[in-house]
Amino acid sequence: MAQDDPRTLVSTEWLAAHMRDPDLRILDGSCYMPGSGRDAKAEYHAGHIPGARFFDIDDISDSRSDLPHMAPPIEKFASRMRAMGVGDGHQVVVYDGSGQFSAARVWWLFKLMGQKDVAVLDGGLPKWVAEGREIEDLPPMVRDRHITVRRQAHLVKDVTQVSAACKLRDYEIIDARSPGRFRGEEEEPRAGLRAGHIPGSKNVHYSSLLNDDQTMKSPKETRAIFEAAGVDLGKPVITTCGSGVTAAILSLALERMGKDDHSLYDGSWTEWGMSPTLPVATGDDDV
């Protein structure tokens, strides 16, 4: 079992013990891949951890962008959190319906907005349910709460910054997609994207950092996985994936390892793969 840390990852046991804390806020941050056949919001309404609010990753995003669920402007984030009753002085715990897929993205968004007391529920809703713990279908009682937002620009990278890092090799770029997608051997789930990866990037599939029950492996184990993939942990890191969701699982693992010089490429492969002017490597090429 992972060591509980209210700023990164907490166990189902920890959450059960703190359920009645007045300043605890639980968020269902479920989001699924296109074509999965799952409806995150409908599943939330059918049953969720008591008191949980639904954090809609697609809605709480930058509506001005053509890319999926890009980080929202600070004003929109603050407005949505106030309306959800999430604000200053709260300990936030985020889970998702896959166990560990999109909750880390919500964790990263809170960090981007300057919030520190936020953690992912290790193993998520599946582990909670498997242990016979309570779920409900009642909407939570919500009161507006002020939230102070200070955007931490160093935690996010745009395409220009990633392109420079690709050329200079002064960052380690780590891709959380499957090996088949990374090598360009599998089709992308979104139409119109080229196959392959950012030249010079390393592949650490997010699932390799998880146990069979979707709990996260220990910091010692995840460090060994990054190193086995050829990642130089002495360099700052940029995490990436298909659309900026599972990249946050890598970010969470790095944070738990004590490595805090990491940022996330928000546009990820959805942006890079659609641009005909950006270089793409395939197979095991490192060009």
| Beta pairing partners, 270 | none
Instruction: In whole angstroms, give the CA distance from residue 90 to residue 151.
Output: 18
pLDDT of res. 187: 87
Tens of pLDDT along the chain (287 residues) come to 558 999 999 999 999 999 999 999 999 999 998 778 999 999 999 999 999 999 999 999 999 999 999 999 999 999 999 999 999 999 999 999 999 999 999 999 999 999 999 999 999 999 999 999 999 999 999 999 999 999 999 999 999 999 999 999 999 999 999 999 999 999 888 888 999 999 999 999 999 999 999 999 999 999 999 999 999 999 999 999 999 999 999 999 999 999 999 999 999 999 999 999 999 999 876 65
What lies within 8 Å, CB to CB, of 268 at 6+ separation is 240, 241, 242, 243, 244, 247
- Strand pairing class (9-10; 118-121): parallel
Q: Which two structure tokens, joined as six digits, stand for 199?
A: 């030249």
pTM for the model: 0.97
Query: Beta strands of the chain (E only): which ranges?
Result: 9-10, 24-28, 53-54, 91-95, 118-121, 156-157, 172-175, 202-203, 237-240, 262-265
pLDDT of res. 267: 98
- DSSP designation for 51: T
- 3-state class of 224 per DSSP? helix
pLDDT of res. 86: 97
pLDDT of res. 124: 98
Residues noted as catalytic: 241
The pLDDT tens digits for 73-113 are 999 999 999 999 999 999 999 999 999 999 999 999 999 99
Domains and CATH numbers, the chain: 9-151 (3.40.250.10), 154-272 (3.40.250.10)
pLDDT of res. 286: 63
Dihedrals φ, ψ of 177, to 5°? -70, 170
Are residues 280 and 259 in contact, defined by beta-carbon separation less than 8 angstroms? no
Are residues 197 and 173 in contact, defined by beta-carbon separation less than 8 angstroms? no
Measure CA of the first residue to CA of the last residue in the chain; give whole Å.
Answer: 40
